[in-house]
Structure 1
């Protein structure tokens, strides 16, 4: 893993695999607000995913907005946001016990609420602003195939209910045994399941909608304009070298996730890319034509798959979007770590993800579509940190340089509110108010850059002491 973490990510690759969501591309895909790049700008945002677009909207929505330029190396929203599974799901119970042990109860609850509130906020924003993004809110179910993971889940849910109370919306969890699981969710041969609140949407359409709002407020968006190098200006601010000339910016915001170390090499090995695989599949004849009406994860000893069913009224309603499978590859998918090339698909992982739907649903799957099970396959690059949390704030020792990155493959319940937090930090708003809802564990500090990267946290069953820290 140390060798994999040391691989420089480079720039986003040209001609990446095309995701289900990006076909056809948005009208903003190749947008350039102005023919020429501005020479001077107040705020430069690098990255046009959900983080970058939300930052642009928040900054420009203020009373006295600065000038804001956004650079995207490829087409708009061509990175991880436009390539994910469309799940707005916070499986907070999976990390809750470790967070209580390592950070204390107060901080663990703050992280749980941050994710839950982000999940709710992103759908509310889409409704408020009329963003057509196939927004759906309902429930999810985690199907278990490993007794250690089942035991961990039961302990974590019991702890959450004790801390938050039985009637808190964020503690609404319901367990089902194996027989009930097959009856309710059509999956066979499991140990049982856990149902709780979730949602789904097209993150690509949502982000394009937010970019449209930001453009209406004065954003200058420049696609297919990679930022090549950052340098501190001799007087103040930053010089950004691009493929189309240099720009001077007073403040630079890195919304570059798994590619961050390319522009700021000091974060090499601090934010480590992981290439993920996604598929869009035609559902089997045995599943409901209108879709499954619930989203899924399939939890086993060292990993999981995540799946949504396209809601009624959406394009290809009933299609199954499922991704994962990395830990099924040789060496538990070691070679996917440090891999930032989303123009390539690993055949072994693809074949596993393609076959696992029939395995999970077994005889309930029915026959494959005459057109074949696979509609589309693609990859995307995520970013992970050693401690398993996002990096949010000003980079220590670098005036005017900020970061919001490393979302652990869970960006849909982190990025939208992280952008709100970074906007507050950049504007030097009241720290006491920010501390009430932004977890301290997310804050960018020099200490967090010293941890040795050892892979994804919170996915395996780790020994948890029953002597849990309590902070009231």
Structure 2
């Protein structure tokens, strides 16, 4: 289905056409290009913009969890510019992996112990929360609970990581998460991890899954609970309507007004909220599927991985039950030249310097894979939302009453979004304040953050 009005890659922070095909979107759900009603509704109580993880989670929490309520059900419309889960949600690494241990010291220094513990707890709790959700909804999405390796190949970095870990443990900070963390020193690190050149590694609880299948299944549950889904319906602008308590959104198919709006557009946010132009920047990433030869013998991977490589690489990978490996990253090939990835919404092309990076990846990095014949079977790009302060922006948009944002997940939304959107849903449907819901305080979108000159990506942009 094609809707005139979908911008081209060069026309600004909106999704483009003809995106690269990720492995996750090779088995499409019946709701992939679905419209609940032929005509776009003229009004609704809540308009959700964005049909990925955050938008679907918002719809589920607003509608699915209200089924036992005797109150009149809200009318909720979810508008997606392309197909369901066609953005970062359908293009990521399939990795549900808390990753706060290396960041906790910085968070403690900048924001205090309590704020750091909030972030750690939220990410840690996502693994078991999603596991319970998959079981409750009986979702076939290859969900696998496992352990994850955090691999260090630089001795200085390894020593610093171990020291931070020991200091946090001694202080009793985030005990439930720190106790799950196991460190292996250089003497046994390569043998334990199976990664060449590993001089130290952590392991901790994580999971991997088929993200598209998980979230389209949850989308179907929301639709069955009353959600009006409108795919191929780009929202081109939002503005206060003639009524001070309503918002008007324009689309190529007409206007729709709503009492409340949830902006769940991640890297595309600035197209609707220009005040976030320098705060949430669309940033391109690359990922692939690697398949070993059917006749080869090689070690069986049971853990997921994050590899911190000596050339500045920062890669992540998961093993799949079909024997294939999903690998993403390749930052060492393109990150320093910002024109390759920064401030672009074009996921229709690969990142050129990284096109060949994954060739022989398993052979280069994993013990026993030298004769595996592992090759790249599929490769794709996706658009993330990088932020100037490296934190998501969550909550009611300053100066825009009734307009809520959940965006800027910096490529790390899997262990953050589900519980965050539960908090947003409570703010929208129950009128709770940000402080009354479970969202880390440092994620709150504020006037001060919007006006701050902090730009952690500044050196990268100046290249």
Q: Same fold (TM over 0.5)?
A: yes
Q: Which stretch shifts more, 153-162 or 267-276? A: 153-162
Pair 333,327 (structure 1): closer, same or farther in 2 beyond 3 Å: farther
Instruction: Give the corresponding residue for 1:51.
Output: 54
Instruction: Give the corresponding residue for 1:274.
Output: 283
Conservation of the 8 A alpha-carbon contact between 1:385 and 1:453:
no
Q: Residue by residue, what CA displacement relative to the aligned partner does 1:335-390 show, whole Å, maximum 9, x if unpaired?
A: 311121111102321211334332211x5213244xx6011100111102122111
Of the three residues 402, 405, 429, the one matched with 1:403 is 405
Q: Residue by residue, what CA displacement relative to the aligned partner does 1:71-93 show, whole Å, maximum 9, x if unpaired?
A: 01001110101100000001211
Q: Can you give the 5+ residue segments of structure 1 that lack an aligned partner in the other structure?
A: 1-6, 312-316, 460-472
Instruction: Give the corresponding residue for 2:332.
Output: 327
Instruction: Give the corresponding residue for 2:35.
Output: 32
Taking the aligned partners of 1:451 and 1:355, their CA distance within structure 2 comes to 44
Instruction: Give the corresponding residue for 1:85.
Output: 93
Conservation of the 8 A alpha-carbon contact between 1:269 and 1:453:
no
Instruction: Give the corresponding residue for 1:354.
Output: 359
Higher RCO structure (Cα 8 Å, ≥6 apart): 1
Conservation of the 8 A alpha-carbon contact between 2:360 and 2:375:
no
Q: Residue by residue, what CA displacement relative to the aligned partner does 1:303-354 show, whole Å, maximum 9, x if unpaired?
A: 410000003xxxxx12110000123227255531112111110232121133
Q: Residue by residue, what CA displacement relative to the aligned partner does 1:190-236 show, whole Å, maximum 9, x if unpaired?
A: 21211111111111111001101100100000111111111211213
Structure 1 residue 277, shift from structure 2 partner: 0.2
Structure 1 residue 433, shift from structure 2 partner: 7.1
Conservation of the 8 A alpha-carbon contact between 2:289 and 2:326:
yes
Taking the aligned partners of 2:126 and 2:359, their CA distance within structure 1 comes to 31
Q: Which stretch shifts more, 71-80 or 19-28? A: 19-28
Of the three residues 364, 384, 399, the one matched with 2:368 is 364
Instruction: Give the corresponding residue for 2:155.
Output: 147
Conservation of the 8 A alpha-carbon contact between 1:67 and 1:219:
yes
Q: Residue by residue, what CA displacement relative to the aligned partner does 1:385-426 show, whole Å, maximum 9, x if unpaired?
A: 122111111101111111011111110000111110111222
- The answer as to 2:117 corresponding to 1:106 is no
Conservation of the 8 A alpha-carbon contact between 2:147 and 2:203:
yes
Conservation of the 8 A alpha-carbon contact between 1:326 and 1:336:
no
Conservation of the 8 A alpha-carbon contact between 2:435 and 2:441:
no
Conservation of the 8 A alpha-carbon contact between 1:307 and 1:323:
yes
Taking the aligned partners of 2:193 and 2:303, their CA distance within structure 1 comes to 8
Q: Aligned runs of 1:277-426 on 2, under 5 Å? A: 277-283=286-292, 285-288=296-299, 291-300=300-309, 302-311=312-321, 317-329=322-334, 331=336, 333=338, 335-361=340-366, 364-369=368-373, 373-426=375-428
Q: Aligned runs of 1:63-74 on 2, under 5 Å? A: 63=69, 64=71, 65-74=73-82
Of the three residues 112, 125, 140, the one matched with 1:117 is 125
Of the three residues 8, 13, 17, the one matched with 1:14 is 17
Pair 451,46 (structure 1): closer, same or farther in 2 beyond 3 Å: same
Structure 1 residue 160, shift from structure 2 partner: 3.1
Pair 455,329 (structure 1): closer, same or farther in 2 beyond 3 Å: same
Taking the aligned partners of 1:31 and 1:187, their CA distance within structure 2 comes to 44
Taking the aligned partners of 1:348 and 1:433, their CA distance within structure 2 comes to 44
Pair 179,260 (structure 1): closer, same or farther in 2 beyond 3 Å: same
Conservation of the 8 A alpha-carbon contact between 1:228 and 1:240:
yes
Pair 166,388 (structure 1): closer, same or farther in 2 beyond 3 Å: closer
Q: Can you give the 5+ residue segments of structure 2 that lack an aligned partner in the other structure?
A: 1-9
Taking the aligned partners of 1:74 and 1:320, their CA distance within structure 2 comes to 27
Taking the aligned partners of 2:282 and 2:446, their CA distance within structure 1 comes to 20
Pair 449,300 (structure 1): closer, same or farther in 2 beyond 3 Å: farther
Conservation of the 8 A alpha-carbon contact between 1:8 and 1:268:
no
Conservation of the 8 A alpha-carbon contact between 1:340 and 1:381:
yes
Pair 163,113 (structure 1): closer, same or farther in 2 beyond 3 Å: farther
Give the TM-score, by structure 1 length.
0.88
Q: 1:417 is paired with a residue of what secondary structure? A: helix
Conservation of the 8 A alpha-carbon contact between 1:326 and 1:332:
no
Conservation of the 8 A alpha-carbon contact between 1:149 and 1:299:
no
Taking the aligned partners of 2:120 and 2:147, their CA distance within structure 1 comes to 17
